[in-house]
């Protein structure tokens, strides 16, 4: 998972100069091009050198949050659509030249427009695929500077350019959340805060907050174990991170453990299944809260290694198995579970502020396909729950088809499923409606959906 980008730290006096904006723009354009070709930033950014990655990530996140506007501007500036590499570089430069004070201040990216033009031209000359188009790129960007007010006014007449989300996504939010859709879209274009989960088995939250304060990092408590940082920090700077004192996890994701475990006393005799566990944050939080006989599944062997690594760092133990939760005949031993966490595969439409590529990678048809996957997982796992047991269904989605509608259909099919008070849809950032489940003081939750269902006794 890629964390929210933060601006590179100021260069200390006398330190060597960092990479030029032209170099960073060249690599940013390559990342944007890869996303437009259907690749996830989670796969693309690790290919960027360690020296360049922080700056390139910050620039790429910014571009993707403004890609709809940049594309609409580019369509006015050119008569014929340029080559994909040239288009990606132009969109990257245009996104840095937009008159968007609010987004600029939140991203921490401030460049004079003429500097962006010059550096974009230099970036074009550095790359074989764009070198011959350097003069064309220069002409397009200088025309934008001359005609910016008129070009912007025309571009922002298009919903995709105004909201920087695909048309189908905007329309679905308008149907699903008619009172909050604009706030959701606006929140998606802002970076989410960095939130920590303090490992209660290693350190008390108050003590850890004081340790942060001692190194000049201010924080605010959230939930039972969380701390929202005033500013993002490299994990290497967090006190005791390598020793398992904390993890990075949004406040919405931290709700899973409490929602699944609350209301009863748990012991190591209780069998608990985390059905789609990777990268292991929720598995770990459950084990931090209680001694459990935990089985963590994931269908991807490499992601199972991440679960193992997470548990090892935090000093926790669980059985981690590579298996498809939807095919229990291949892995289930026939012993029913006391509790199941199903954090199901979904569109990730609730965590766009941390993964701005998601909106451009998803297609409308993906929603229906994922709804089928979620339904199949629910049907496969429900028989594995003992009478009196509980299942927490979760997705990091704001789409009702993957949340409220999915659960309503399940309850209609299963008369032995008892719906318990649950948060339902948590909306991202300031879009989240006030209520007992919305106590995040800084930046709001990521978008999430939670419902707990208990299996009635015969």
CB burial string 276-294: b at 16+ within 10 A, e below: bbbbbbbbbbbbbbbebbb
- The CATH class of the 21-163 domain is mainly alpha
Domain range summary for the chain, segments of one domain joined by +: 21-163, 195-248, 255-455
Q: Which of these CATH numbers, 3.40.640.10, 3.30.70.1170, 3.90.650.10, 3.60.20.10, describes 195-248?
A: 3.30.70.1170
Contact 388, 457 (CB under 8 A): yes
| pLDDT tens-digit profile, the chain (458 residues) | 344 444 444 444 444 567 999 999 999 999 999 999 999 999 999 999 999 999 999 999 999 999 999 999 999 999 898 999 999 999 999 999 996 433 334 456 778 999 999 999 999 999 888 999 999 999 999 999 999 999 999 999 999 999 999 999 999 999 999 999 999 999 999 999 999 999 999 999 999 999 999 999 999 999 999 999 999 999 999 999 999 999 999 999 999 999 999 999 999 999 999 999 999 999 999 999 999 999 999 999 999 999 999 999 999 999 999 999 999 999 999 999 999 999 999 999 999 999 999 999 999 999 999 999 999 999 999 999 999 999 999 999 999 999 999 999 999 999 999 999 999 999 998 655 544 444 444 457 899 999 999 999 87
The span from the CA of 171 to the CA of 27, in Å, is 33
Confidence (pTM): 0.91
Inter-CA distances, 390 with 263, 270, 295, 387, 398, Å = 11, 12, 15, 9, 23
Residues 346, 166: Cα–Cα separation, whole Å = 17
396 is catalytic: yes
In this structure, whether the domain defined by 255-455 belongs to CATH 3.90.1150.200 is answered with no
Catalytic one among 31, 91, 289, 396?
A: 396
DSSP-derived pairing of the beta strands 271-274 and 246-248: unpaired
In a 13 Å sphere around the CA of 233, the CA atoms on its Cβ side amount to 22
Decide: 321 and 304 in contact? Cβ < 8 Å.
Answer: yes
Over the stretch 414-448, which tens digit does the pLDDT of each residue have? Answer: 999 999 999 999 999 865 554 444 444 445 789 99
């Amino acid at each position: 998972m890629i964390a929210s980008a933060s601006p590179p730290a100021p260069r200390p006096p006398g330190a060597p100069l960092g990479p030029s904006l032209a170099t960073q723009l060249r690599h940013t354009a390559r990342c944007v091009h890869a996303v437009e070709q259907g690749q996830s930033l989670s796969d693309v950014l690790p290919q960027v050198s360690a020296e360049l990655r922080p700056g390139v990530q910050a620039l790429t996140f910014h571009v993707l949050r403004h890609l709809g506007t940049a594309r609409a501007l580019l369509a006015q500036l050119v008569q014929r659509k340029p080559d994909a590499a040239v288009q990606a570089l132009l969109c990257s430069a245009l996104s840095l030249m937009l008159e968007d004070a609010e987004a600029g201040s939140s991203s921490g990216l401030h460049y004079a427009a003429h500097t962006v033009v010059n550096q974009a031209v230099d970036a074009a000359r550095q790359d074989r695929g764009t070198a011959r188009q350097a003069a064309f790129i220069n002409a397009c960007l200088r025309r934008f500077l001359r005609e910016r007010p008129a070009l912007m006014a025309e571009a922002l007449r298009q919903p995709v350019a105004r909201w920087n989300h695909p048309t189908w996504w905007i329309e679905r939010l308008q149907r699903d959340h008619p009172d909050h859709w604009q706030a959701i879209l606006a929140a998606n274009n802002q970076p989410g805060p960095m939130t920590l989960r303090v490992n209660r088995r290693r350190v008390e939250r108050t003590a850890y907050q004081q340790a942060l304060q001692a190194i000049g990092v201010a924080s605010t408590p959230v939930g039972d174990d969380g701390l929202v940082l005033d500013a993002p920090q490299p994990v290497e700077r967090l006190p005791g991170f390598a020793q398992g004192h904390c993890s990075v996890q949004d406040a919405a994701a931290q709700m899973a453990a409490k929602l699944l475990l609350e209301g009863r006393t748990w012991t190591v005799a209780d069998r608990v299944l985390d059905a789609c566990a990777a990268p292991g944050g929720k598995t770990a939080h459950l084990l931090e809260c209680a001694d459990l006989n935990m089985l963590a599944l994931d269908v991807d062997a490499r992601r199972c290694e991440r679960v193992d690594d997470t548990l090892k760092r935090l000093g926790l133990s669980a059985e981690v198995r590579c298996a498809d939760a939807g095919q229990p005949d291949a892995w289930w031993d026939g012993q029913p579970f006391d509790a199941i966490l199903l954090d199901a595969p979904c569109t990730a439409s609730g965590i766009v502020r941390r993964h701005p590529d998601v909106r451009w990678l998803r297609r409308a048809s993906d929603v229906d396909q994922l709804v089928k996957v979620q339904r199949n997982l629910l049907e496969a796992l429900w028989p594995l729950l003992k009478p009196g047991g509980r299942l927490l269904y979760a997705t990091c989605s704001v789409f009702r088809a993957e949340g409220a509608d999915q659960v309503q259909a399940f309850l209609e099919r299963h008369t032995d499923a008892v719906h318990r008070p649950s948060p339902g849809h948590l909306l991202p950032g300031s879009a989240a409606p006030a209520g007992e489940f919305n106590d995040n003081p800084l930046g709001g939750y990521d978008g999430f959906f939670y419902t707990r269902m208990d299996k009635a006794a015969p």
